[in-house]
Amino acid sequence: MMPLLANVDPWIFTFSAITVIVTVAMGFWSAKKSKTASDFFVAGRSVGVGMNASAISGEYLSAASFMGVAGMVMSSGYDALWYPVCYACGYLFLLLFIAGPLRRFGAYTIPDFAEGRFDSPVFRKIAVVFVLFIGFFYTMPQMKGAGVTLAYIFKDIEWIGGAKGLPYWVGVVLVGAVITLNVALGGMKGITLVQAFQYWIKMFAISVPVFVLMSVHSHYGNHLQANLVKPSAGMTSQGDASTSLETAAALNRKVLPEKAPKDETWINPFGPLTTKAAKAAGLSAEESKPYSLLYTYSLIIALVCGTAGLPHILVRFYTNPDGVAAKRTTMWVMILIGVFYVFPPVFGVMGRNLMPELYNGLAGVKGTDGVVLNLPLILTEKYGTLGAVLSGITCAGAFAAFMSTFSGLLVSMTGALAHDIYGRILRPKSTPEDRMRMFKFCAVICGVGAILLGFLVETFEINKLVGWAFAIAATSYFPLLFLATWWRNITMKGAATGMLAGGSLSLVAIASTMLADQAKWAEGLKIWYTTHPLARTLAEQPAIWALPLAIVLMIVVSRLTRSEVPADIRMKMLVLHAPEKLGLKQEYIQEHQAGH
């Protein structure tokens, strides 16, 4: 069955193709400079502040940031603003507590730090497991973004035989294969320039369409006011997938949640279920989502602390020359991503007012996650190709979003397998050349695994998937890094107990909600969660209880095993915190030791 490309918008296709081609070309060019194991794992520790800040920002601003934040603001109103705020605030924790000390330690990977801080090869194995769990969880929203974007680009493609559109799984496979090839060829040094370039692509793609749309369809304030109260006769308001009812034209207004009248009913997406409409639908307003505030608090903890526990972000600080450069890099990252996050909420607010049809799905995009891609097309009727050009630009930004983040995740997971498992555990006497070959092989293995997981998450919201990855990072790596960096008396048994308890319980809780939502054989679990909403909320976002549990266990077990504090702990703490001018900085992994 062959496709006919005549119906594919040339502007959208061109901008997207250029982004992919330039990304691959830059990857090939950078790969020629990757000669040593240090180049593959930490880019030779020679990346400057500006370049690394752009690369970290490009890696961090994933599909959840580029597409998901706007979609969540469109569907949930002000409640969703916690996502961009907390995404950015997490770097404040990194700046204050982790970035400088982590770089001064001089490892290749976070499991390197875990082993070196506690003199425990066993702890390295535990740390590697969570690198893989967090990494694979975070690849799922990137794969979802890839599938959604390609389905949108080729929504009008016609196949010989009568079929129309591009299946979701095709986008997952194509993007996954391209990025896997890029990472396998160039490693960390190969993707640094690519990620820096992709940050500026995303910045351009998210900002320019907003300015054009506001110049044509009025500024942000007018759209916000229009969302507060606007007659909308003939609109069918919907709650969840099983709830749909007509409301009188006089009462059917679009409102933000905090403005919903208490004595009237407003059905999602224009507001939460309130008493009057809930009764009409046979529901209870109080039972629709009774613990939403608890979920929000837990989400805030997950996003802020999870940022400081993401292995693929943390490893980039090892690419700076020293701790001072790492801290300066973090400050610039806060500025770069802070500016970026101004724009997605504007897309969400304008989408509420200008494209409410997205709530029911449009043009191959399921739900509001497609507002960034679709909103520019409203200019097409009056301004011709302008809408298609802007939509093409946003598609290019979407490609840059999931490609840059997926690249960083692959390097992190591949490093865990090639360096921590193969080079430090299975074959500690392997040469740097052996580990470089293993890096390429492991990149392919991890890429295939990410593609397979991408097939499973088509129906999940992008930002919810990201929130789960952050929750696992917040309950496993964050307490480890924070306490191991600042508390001299933490022991290996204490750190391992807390990390295993917090991270594993979070993983099990999240997996149970995923199964309850999607697995037919878990119908009993779904029913149980329906009748126990508090348990459902705590399982769906476990950071609020799993993070304190991990910290308490680390402290208690460390006090019980205080005799096992490393003998050279004073020197290690001095290396972590002493200014570089004193000359105490050490590289835990030296290039000549890389294979030993």
- The answer to whether the predicted template modeling score (pTM) of the entire model surpasses 0.75 is yes
The distance in angstroms from the start CA to the end CA of the chain is 53
pLDDT digits (tens, 9 = 90+) for 369-402: 778 888 888 888 778 788 888 888 998 888 888 8
Distance of alpha carbon 249 from alpha carbon 233, whole angstroms: 4
Q: Residue 569: is it exposed, middle or buried by C-beta count within 10 angstroms (0-12/13-18/19+)? A: middle
Question: Which helix (DSSP H) or strand (DSSP E) does residue 158 occupy?
Answer: strand 158-159
Residue 412 domain-assigned (yes or no): yes
pLDDT tens-digit series, residues 144-197: 888 888 887 887 777 666 667 788 888 899 889 988 887 777 666 667 788 888
| Domain limits for position 576 | 3-222+288-581
What is the dihedral angle through the alpha carbons of 400, 404, 407, 408, rounded to the nearest 10 degrees?
Answer: -170
Instruction: Examine residue 323 and state whether it is found in any structural domain, yes or no.
Output: yes
Q: What share of the chain is helix, strand, coil (3-state, %, to 5)?
A: 75, 5, 20
Within this chain, do residues 531 and 568 fall inside the same structural domain, yes or no?
A: yes
Q: Indicate if 59 and 91 belong to the same structural domain.
A: yes
The answer to whether residues 303 and 272 belong to one domain is no
Same-domain status, 204 and 139: yes
Residues 499 and 543 in one domain: yes
Instruction: Answer whether residue 596 is part of any domain.
Output: no
At residue 231, the 3 state secondary structure works out as: strand
- In angstroms, the CA 59 to CA 138 distance is 12
| 259 DSSP assignment | G
Q: Are residues 55 and 32 in the same domain?
A: yes
CATH number of the domain residue 62 falls in: 1.20.1730.10
**What is d(CA 403, CA 194) in angstroms, rounded to the nearest whole number?**
9
The tokens describing 286, both together, are 């109080």
pLDDT > 90? residue 545: yes
Q: Does any domain span residue 520?
A: yes
- Which of residues 287, 304, 330 is at a domain's end? 287
pLDDT at 260 over 60: no
Higher pLDDT, 448 or 436: 448
Residues 264 and 274 in one domain: yes
Give the number of domains in the chain: 2
Clarify whether residues 307 and 272 are in a common domain.
no
Are 123 and 271 members of one domain? no
**Which of 251-260, 313-322, 414-423 has the lowest average pLDDT?**
251-260
Contact between residue 141 and residue 62 where contact means Cβ atoms under 8 Å apart = yes
| Distance from C-alpha of 344 to C-alpha of 70, rounded to nearest angstrom | 5
- Report yes or no on 587 lying in a domain: no
Distance of CA 264 to the CA centre of its chain: 37
The residues with which 246 forms a beta bridge, in sequence order, are: 236
Q: For residue 134, is it within any domain?
A: yes
Same domain, yes or no, for 23 and 95?
A: yes
Q: Note whether 281 and 307 are same-domain residues.
A: no
Q: Is residue 38 part of a domain?
A: yes
Same domain, 306 and 355: yes
Mean pLDDT of 585-589: 52
593 falls within a domain:
no
